[in-house]
Structure 1
Amino acid sequence: MGQGWIHDHHTGTHHGGLETRSIDYVPLAERHGKLWHLGPLWFMSNAQIATLAVGLLSITGGGSLDWSVIAIVTGILLGTLFMAFHSAQGPQLGLPQMIQSRPQFGYLGALLVWLFAYVQYAGFNVFNSVLAGQSMHSTAHGSTKIWIIVTTVVAFVIALIGYDIIHKAEQFLTYSMLVIFGIFTIGLFFLHYPSGTFDLGTFKLSPFLAQFGVVAGYQISWAIYVSDYSRYLPPDVTVRKTFYWTYWGSALGGAWLMIAGCVLAAWIGPKNFDTISSINAAGDHVFSGFGAIVLILSTLGLVSVMALNMYGGSLTLISAIDSFKKVAPTLGVRAITIGLTAALGLVGALLATDNFLADFNNFLVLVLYLFIPWTAVNLVDYYVVRRGHYAIAEIFKPDGIYGRWGWRGIISYLVGFAAMIPFFSVGTLFTGFVAKDLSGSDISLFIGLPVAGILYYVLCRSLDVAAEVRLAEAEENDFEKAAAAHKTG
């Protein structure tokens, strides 16, 4: 028992070394892995150069370096709370993240959030593959578009092999990152910065809140991934320890790269900042050619997170299809859905505009808006309403106890989202009337979370949770046996 369970490759989890389970429940006999693996996974998922660009919003908006760093750290500390609480659901339920939305939103109603989740997976891969292609073009030369295709194919293979190789790749990259990017970070202390760079400066509310919001949103955007990579762990790892390994892995990786981005922008000048050339130039200050080494490592990090997006996108797409027609979780289905997710990101990357940074920041803000009310509903349901007790067999039944349409979750989501609209501030795209009064400051995060969460709690007062628990207990043994006996392939 415990964290060190031996994984039997003759179970339904793998077929010829490739993972075959997808949205289905992972039976106890197939649980494996060590809890600490979550630390490197979430550290390295954040410690890649797409994250670096997240730390630039305040300093490019006229904020000082010190206040920008404070905004980043506070945004990290708050936003990571939500994704880490979601991670703790994985070992307890044995299910990927988005399928867990059915108890709140219904068998069909969950399609609402799955659509947004799938757009996020494909959208992030557009940005990640563009950066990977540019990094390789800068170091190994050749066409950026060819490198975009190459990195997409490599990420596809990793995602297809599945869960275990993703964890192993992130562990290897974490150790490499600590060494290579550690040297790079030390080198940042020896650069010559403009006079007054490290003065505290005047506090400016608008860039501070913009930076805080985009950082918190970036961290919350990981919430749709996390149970996907903890669901094979045995349930006795405990909620608290699962939370800690996820929280500190993600927070440290994110803070490191965002602050590094902020410092680079302060050194080279916000208007002159370019992710690839800035890293290359700063790295070459350590020694000639070191910038290229950092960029090659950065490309590997981007490929690994592209694989995460393809893997999660596949699970979300299978969940959506399963809502209309029952899907057997086979290797073939995984291959097709991973391939489609890879293709969408690839096409987007090949057609991407040069205005990368502005597009990326707007994308992050939009992701925040879409997932704030979802994360509130999902977490209130798990930790407050049902307290971790779900009839898992019913999640896979169109006419089960959770229904086709979960009106409580849907209403709470829509009301929470609507309440945020006056507080939206998305660059030149849209500014709500309250945000205008606040000089463009965006505090929608502090509106959507409590409105959606509290409303959902109130609407759930009429739920007969005790009856659900009795049904879950009655079905548990039979469901566990059926899941263990079901061989995918």
Structure 2
Amino acid sequence: MAQSSTSGATAATERRPAFEVRSIDYVPLNERHGKLWHLGPLWFMSNAQIATLAVGVLGVTTGGNLIWSLIAIVLGVLTGTFFMAAHSAQGPQLGLPQMIQSRPQFGYVGAILVWLFAYLQYAGFNVFNTLLAADSAHATVHGGTSLWIVVATVVAAVAAIAGYDFIHKMERWLAYGFVVFFGILTVAFFTFGFPAGSFDLGHFDLAPFLLQYSVVAGYQISWAIYVSDYSRYLPPDVTVSRTFWWTYGGSALGAIWIMSLGAALAAWAGKAFDAIPSLESAGNQVFDGFGAVILVFSALGLISVTALNMYGGSLTLISASDSFKRIRPTLGARIVTISLTAAISLVGALASTKSFQTNFENFLLMVLYLFIPWTAVNLVDYFIVRHGHYAIEEIFNPNGMYGRWGWRGIAAYLIGFAAMIPFFSTGLYTGPVAEAAKGADFSLFIGLPVSALLYWLFCRNLDIEAEVAVATKEREELEYEAVHHMRPEPGHGPHPG
């Protein structure tokens, strides 16, 4: 990989500031720190919260039985987490946040296309997360959902401003609590009674099975747009494979656990299912008051993942702004963009309606549709086309070798997305193929290979050797500029002929 050959990525010995000062700029080797295993609890806890639980109920609530919903959950998690973890492996090698890495594929300006979609995802998830956190708090502590929406938003914003290290520590401590509280609840579920036929493998319905599979896979893929934000401070000698497996293991375990609980909860509650009351009722089966403990802890988990979304949304806004006018990515810039992101999610949550589950299902499917082509393009570029070799300074150069508009990435993305449309199956739109298949959604199996293959074909004439030469020549200067918080001037740096 581009940076992996550069050894000596030792942790910085100086005391790190309480608030992270970097944002979208390259992290120099002397600031790389942290332990690889920290990725495990971070991504475990990011999935171990009620919004993820709500993803696991869809197979049951749309007519499938419990056993086939559980199978769809496991398969969907194993599929979607593969792509998510592959993106995580890019962080230590490049020292860059995730979305800025789209410039080599989509261009300096063209990458704004996917950044817009990414920002909509951050905002959408934050609306759902703060709503669930507020409902959980109101059901136990009371005080009104509007008050708790504000509290959850403010606390999450403060955590996001504190930044990378604080978020890692927060998620580690919450992960320990989750294992205890939800471990007890999980054991209790084995004593619950479930409807007849819940575990009948002969009762298979393709439409709810594929819906559950697609939504789960899409939910896991949705982490891909910011997963390397939380691995970019690690030294590059942690290797790609170890970074992948720590991310994959933590995320998959958290997702399968909490989604399976969601499916079991929906089957147990039946037609009376409602996420917050049903979860509290299940907790109270252990002992009176334990349901309230579960809900309070769940609210904390939702606030923590809201902080991740605000952090990622901030980096996306800074990246987009930098595409129009070069800005210095300082703590002040992060505070402004995090505050704006928090305000948008706050307004959205306060103005939302009660039809949570339907809206959440449609939102998750749209996330899946929008980011399947992007993840295909980005991963093919990194692992197959350029093999991890990037000239970092050129990524920040509006007139650099990656160009302002990356027609290869844009074309592969748009064609892949268009190819998926006949296979869409949502409450808002059902494509002709999905309709003929009684609502079964096959779009994942179309968008990934179409976008990946097209991008690979479009890149056959790229002069990768020239790009590698530029990256090698710039590396020492890159380290000097990053250490001294400098940004290269437009047009600065060598270019391939």
Which TM-score tier does this pair reach, normalised by the shorter chain?
Answer: over 0.9
How far apart, in 2, do the equivalents of 1:245 and 1:412 lie?
30
How far apart, in 1, do the equivalents of 2:456 and 2:193 lie?
54
How far apart, in 2, do the equivalents of 1:86 and 1:129 lie?
27
Alignment-derived partner of residue 15 in structure 2:
9
Is residue 339 of structure 1 aligned with residue 345 of structure 2?
no
Structure 1 residue 399, shift from structure 2 partner:
0.1
How far apart, in 1, do the equivalents of 2:109 and 2:465 lie?
24
Alignment-derived partner of residue 297 in structure 1:
297
Alignment-derived partner of residue 412 in structure 1:
412
Alignment-derived partner of residue 218 in structure 1:
219
Alignment-derived partner of residue 454 in structure 1:
453
Q: Deviations over 1:301-350 (max 9, x none)?
A: 00100000000000000000000000101111110000000111111100
Alignment-derived partner of residue 200 in structure 2:
199
Structure 1 residue 273, shift from structure 2 partner:
1.1
Is residue 430 of structure 1 aligned with residue 429 of structure 2?
yes
Alignment-derived partner of residue 481 in structure 1:
480
Q: Deviations over 1:385-412 (max 9, x none)?
A: 0000000000000000000000000000
Instruction: State the one-letter code of the partner of 2:350.
Output: L
Q: Deviations over 1:243-264 (max 9, x none)?
A: 0000010001001111100000
CA contact (8 A) 2:269 2:278 kept: yes
How far apart, in 2, do the equivalents of 1:32 and 1:408 lie?
35
Structure 1 residue 121, shift from structure 2 partner:
0.4
How far apart, in 2, do the equivalents of 1:406 and 1:487 lie?
26
Alignment-derived partner of residue 74 in structure 2:
73
Instruction: State the one-letter code of the partner of 1:415.
Output: I
Structure 1 residue 201, shift from structure 2 partner:
4.0
Structure 1 residue 191, shift from structure 2 partner:
1.8
Alignment map for 1:18-167 (pairs within 5 Å): 18-167=19-168
CA contact (8 A) 1:48 1:257 kept: yes
Instruction: State the one-letter code of the partner of 2:255.
Output: G
Alignment map for 1:387-406 (pairs within 5 Å): 387-406=387-406
Instruction: State the one-letter code of the partner of 2:420.
Output: M
Alignment map for 1:238-317 (pairs within 5 Å): 238-269=239-270, 271-317=271-317
CA contact (8 A) 2:100 2:319 kept: yes
How far apart, in 2, do the equivalents of 1:346 and 1:426 lie?
26
Aligned-residue sequence identity (percent) comes to 67
How far apart, in 2, do the equivalents of 1:187 and 1:3 lie?
46
Structure 1 residue 61, shift from structure 2 partner:
1.4
TM-score by length of 2: 0.95
Structure 1 residue 380, shift from structure 2 partner:
0.2
How far apart, in 2, do the equivalents of 1:259 and 1:487 lie?
48
Instruction: State the one-letter code of the partner of 2:307.
Output: A
CA contact (8 A) 1:27 1:484 kept: yes
How far apart, in 2, do the equivalents of 1:257 and 1:404 lie?
42
How far apart, in 1, do the equivalents of 2:286 and 2:32 lie?
45
Structure 1 residue 199, shift from structure 2 partner:
2.7
Is residue 468 of structure 1 aligned with residue 474 of structure 2?
no
CA contact (8 A) 1:420 1:444 kept: yes
Alignment-derived partner of residue 370 in structure 1:
370
CA contact (8 A) 2:186 2:261 kept: yes
Instruction: State the one-letter code of the partner of 1:432.
Output: G
Q: Deviations over 1:33-75 (max 9, x none)?
A: 0000000000000000100010111111111110110000000
CA contact (8 A) 1:56 1:261 kept: yes
Instruction: State the one-letter code of the partner of 1:423.
Output: F
**Matched pairs, number:** 481
Instruction: State the one-letter code of the partner of 1:422.
Output: P
TM-score by length of 1: 0.97
Instruction: State the one-letter code of the partner of 2:198.
Output: T
Q: Secondary structure at the match of 2:23?
A: coil
How far apart, in 2, do the equivalents of 1:303 and 1:153 lie?
9
CA contact (8 A) 2:84 2:221 kept: yes
CA contact (8 A) 2:76 2:217 kept: yes
Instruction: State the one-letter code of the partner of 2:129.
Output: N
Instruction: State the one-letter code of the partner of 2:15.
Output: H
Off by >3 Å, runs of 4+ in structure 1: 1-4
Structure 1 residue 2, shift from structure 2 partner:
7.5
CA contact (8 A) 2:66 2:263 kept: yes
How far apart, in 2, do the equivalents of 1:246 and 1:99 lie?
20
CA contact (8 A) 2:65 2:197 kept: no
Change (3 A) 1:188 1:110: same
Is residue 352 of structure 1 aligned with residue 349 of structure 2?
no
Structure 1 residue 192, shift from structure 2 partner:
2.6
Structure 1 residue 197, shift from structure 2 partner:
2.7
Alignment-derived partner of residue 384 in structure 2:
384
Structure 1 residue 284, shift from structure 2 partner:
0.3
- The answer for unaligned runs of 5 or more in structure 1 is none
Q: Secondary structure at the match of 1:326?
A: coil
Greater mean deviation of Cα atoms: 430-439 or 230-239 = 430-439
Structure 1 residue 4, shift from structure 2 partner:
7.2
How far apart, in 2, do the equivalents of 1:104 and 1:194 lie?
50
How far apart, in 2, do the equivalents of 1:231 and 1:326 lie?
22
Structure 1 residue 487, shift from structure 2 partner:
7.2
